[in-house]
Amino acid sequence: MEELETKREKPRKSLPARIFGSIFEFFVVAVISLFVAVLLKTYLIQPFEIPSESMARTLITDDRILVNKLANSESRLHRGDVVVFIDPNNWLAGVQLQEPTGPGKYINRFGQAIGILPRNAGNHLVKRIIGMPGDHVECCSANGKLKINGREITEPYLYPGAAPSDTEFNVTVPAGHLWVMGDNRSNSKDSRFHQKYSGFGFVPIKNVEGRAWLRMYPFDRFARLKDESSVFSRVPAAKDR
């Protein structure tokens, strides 16, 4: 007769051992998740919260957006892109931003630090690129429109009823910089305002965090930001002016 081998059951772990194992497993998963979140935030994408109406209707107060951090160099940026950038020259001086108080304040800061919660503007701003390095940007033409390198543009993303600009300007964007404007032109302290009052309204490209590409919250506004490059499709390159 063949001897049948009986399978031995593994000894059952004690309750404390099972609890410890579950806690350890949760800890490992949490650490890996935080590592991935920090990695994504540092190199790939980062959430931000919109604090004002300067980009309405494209972006409104309390919208949450995702920013592509790989799109932060001249070769990856284009006219019409919506970008988040670090305050270049005290543009936010005097602006008060509300922050949670009590324990929520520290939870919020921790979540922002690891990339789980969106950052508010803080020392960041969000605007649309109108002029790239070398571009000649002016307003307004006889038709009341912006001109870039001598070509008029029609801007469908402007806030309804907003004029292209209520301030005249005529600038050439220096190398390594951008000319940016909010879509809600009458409610945006952008390159125009700072050029007029500080003499330098250009944003260094090195200050750009990345290009906004997704509006992720509120859920009823969830959408990918529209590609507006066609607005500038007939604008000649700066060197061809």
- 159-211: per-residue pLDDT in tens? 999 999 999 999 999 999 999 999 999 999 999 999 988 888 999 999 999 99
Domain that holds residue 79: 49-101+120-240
Domain containing 188 — which CATH number? 2.10.109.10
Is 136 domain-assigned?
yes
Is 72 domain-assigned?
yes
Is 30 domain-assigned?
no
User: Comparing 35-39, 148-152, 190-194, which segment has the lowest mean pLDDT?
Assistant: 35-39
Q: How many domains does the chain have?
A: 1
Residue 126's closest CA among 71, 66, 50, 60? 50
Is 13 domain-assigned?
no
Residue 180: predicted pLDDT: 98
Residue 235's closest CA among 140, 97, 160, 132? 132
Is 109 domain-assigned?
no
Q: What integer is the mean pLDDT of 142-163?
A: 96
Put the strands of the sheet holding 147-148 in their side by side order: 151-152, 147-148, 136-139, 169-172
- Catalytic positions, please? 54, 127
Is 14 domain-assigned?
no
Residue 1: predicted pLDDT: 44
Q: What integer is the mean pLDDT of 3-22?
A: 61
Is 208 domain-assigned?
yes
Percentages of the chain per state (helix, strand, coil), in multiples of 5:
30, 25, 50
Is 80 domain-assigned?
yes
Average pLDDT, the chain: 84
Contacts 24+ apart (CB under 8 A), 112-118: 114/34, 114/37, 114/38, 114/41, 115/37, 115/38, 115/40, 115/41, 115/42, 115/46, 115/47, 116/37, 117/47, 118/47, 118/48, 118/49, 118/64, 118/65
pTM above 0.85, yes or no: no
